[in-house]
Chains A and B, each alone.
Chain A
């Protein structure tokens, strides 16, 4: 009798593993960069291409790097949330216009509003590669020491903002 239950036991364990597997998103690949220093970069500012932004200047501040592009569909979904969030002035938000034409990017900001303190142009996507970006939008929360503390894969949602990002921002700003 007991032996007959062994296959059932194995089956249940298998079902539990498969069920857990179903709840996970295969497109969310954990970033190896979390807990590591954010790659340093210097790139032209979208609005004033003559000037460059250097990520070193952000040391000492908690800030959010948000990758976006005018061709990115999911960014359209995220954008209004970012615009609202920018009004709270919780932390500096820097945009990384990933593999975009500058003119298209500027047009997008004109039409849909500009939540960014500034945006930089990553025309060939090299900065994106250094950050391990594989699908815009992705966002990185970077602490005062320049360490990546959190990565949002896909659009920032109101829930992610409320439950994960803002509590972490407050904690990081205190330290």
Chain B
């Protein structure tokens, strides 16, 4: 009897330890859903190439907790993003803000594309000019004819 009791207590202890280690799931699936949508577009500052939604870093877990709290406090998605940007800077946003400092980031690729198109058009035009066929004079024509007729070429 005593053995069973010990075993029972030991098992209980083991399970409670397990429960403490599990990542706490939000009790509210709606909050969780919104939290994921917001944090998927935010960068984890510890791992940098992982989103806040996917990261297992300690800080990411804390920040997800903060975001859950803000959602429950009826903040809009923009307010929540602003909250994080105020603390960690624009770097947390995977989608950079559209403001003068970032214009090069937004327009840069299109400028490069435009430049490439200009170069392409100029190259094509120049080639067309150079490739314009010059007519053969009668002597050249006759030589070509004789070469084409030469049976030796076909053997």
- Residues of chain A touching chain B, judged by Cβ–Cβ distance below 8 Å, are 26-27, 29-33, 99, 124-126, 129-132, 134-135
Contact = CB atoms under 8 A, between A and B. Distances in A.
A55 B147 CA distance: 98
Interface string B78-103: 00000001111111000000000000
Given A26-B48, A134-B45, A135-B46, A129 B63 contact: yes
B62 interface: yes
Interface of B: 45-46, 48, 58-59, 62-63, 66, 85-91
B89 A99 contact: no
Contacts of B63: 129
A31 B66 contact: no
Nearest to B43: A29
Contacts of A124: 62
Given A26-B48, A29-B45, A134 B62 contact: no
19 contacts: A26-B48, A27-B48, A29-B88, A29-B91, A30-B89, A31-B88, A32-B85, A33-B86, A99-B58, A99-B62, A124-B62, A125-B59, A129-B62, A129-B66, A132-B89, A134-B46, A134-B88, A135-B45, A135-B59
